[in-house]
Structure 1
Amino acid sequence: MSLTALMTAALLGQSAFSLGMETPAADRMHDVAYQELSEGRSEAALRKLESSSAVEAGDPAALINLGSAYASAGRTDKAIAAYRAAIATQDRYSLELADGSWVDSRHAARTALKNLLTSTARASR
């Protein structure tokens, strides 16, 4: 199973590039609710991720997907906190996005946070 982070539509258009970072070891790969998010089932993703040991352990992919699930559910404050936790985690590796491209986990989290903050600012105008 490849570790996949589902990101906002803006991330899907990014081109693939090599960062020379390792992907997580097989014993560290977790279910990060990709299937639920890709099917638009944010509440199911939240149930899975909120009880996930991967989130507790600070797994960037799980935290990014948690942020995406919160954002989809309209829980912006929690989405921001999840993205910031993904940025701050000690773990860092390449993530495969939904479009098949690979990106640094911190870059993915920063981009998702920026996109969320931009869309929130536009909505409040």
Structure 2
Amino acid sequence: MLAAVVLLVAAEGPVMTVTAPDSEYDIGYAELVAGDARGAIEAIENCDKLPESDPARQINHAVALARVGDYEEARDRFAAAARNADRLELQTSTGDWVDSKVLARRGLAMLDSGDFRGYEALAVR
């Protein structure tokens, strides 16, 4: 099972950041942390180490898309992670372990409440 780390970062509100434990997987983590959502999207879309169906990748992609204002595509990615047959336990920056489906549903809720408006970046490694 692939473990990933989810960091909750404050930048005018809550932000999710997911990272795979193996740094060879570039799913936009560094770019999202740096606030470069477009760079994160490029890194995620060019990642050939993890399948597009990987929940951590889907969550990071959704976050990056939301940060550039592509809310419908972000919703599609969060929804895909929420219904994904693969479930990952993701660790938050506070050390809590959270199911990937729960994080995906939180992302959907953030979209519904407008919490992504004003964000510039979100990242996953």
TM-score, length-normalised on structure 2? 0.70
How many residue pairs are counted as aligned between the two chains? 106
Calculate percent identity across the aligned residue pairs: 31
Matched, 1:10 2:11: no
**Contact kept? 2:4, 2:21, Cα under 8 Å:** no
Cα distance in 1 for partners of 2:27, 2:99 equals 16
Unaligned runs of 5+ in 2: 118-125
Q: What is the aligned counterpart of 2:27 among 17, 24, 32?
A: 32
Distance 1:41 1:99 in 2: 24
Structure showing the higher helix proportion among its residues: 1
Contact 1:11 1:108 in 2 (8 A): no
The CA deviation at 1:55 is 4.6
Relative distance call for 1:99 and 1:11 in structure 2 (3 A) is farther
Task: Give the whole-Å Cα distance in 1 for the aligned partners of 2:21 and 2:15.
Answer: 24
- Residue 54 (structure 2) aligns with: 59
Q: Which stretches in structure 1 are left out of the alignment for 5+ residues?
A: 13-23
* Partner secondary structure for residue 86 of structure 2: coil
Map 1:103-118 → 2, pairs under 5 A: 103-118=98-113
- Verify: 1:87 aligned to 2:88, yes or no: no
Query: What code does the residue aligned with 1:77 have?
Result: E
- Tell me the SS of whatever aligns to 2:114: helix
Please say if 1:68 is aligned against 2:101: no
Q: Is the partner of 2:91 in helix, strand or coil?
A: strand
**Match of 2:123?**
none
Q: CA RMSD in A?
A: 2.9
Structure 1's 7 and 84: CA in aligned 2 closer, same or farther, altered over 3 A?
farther
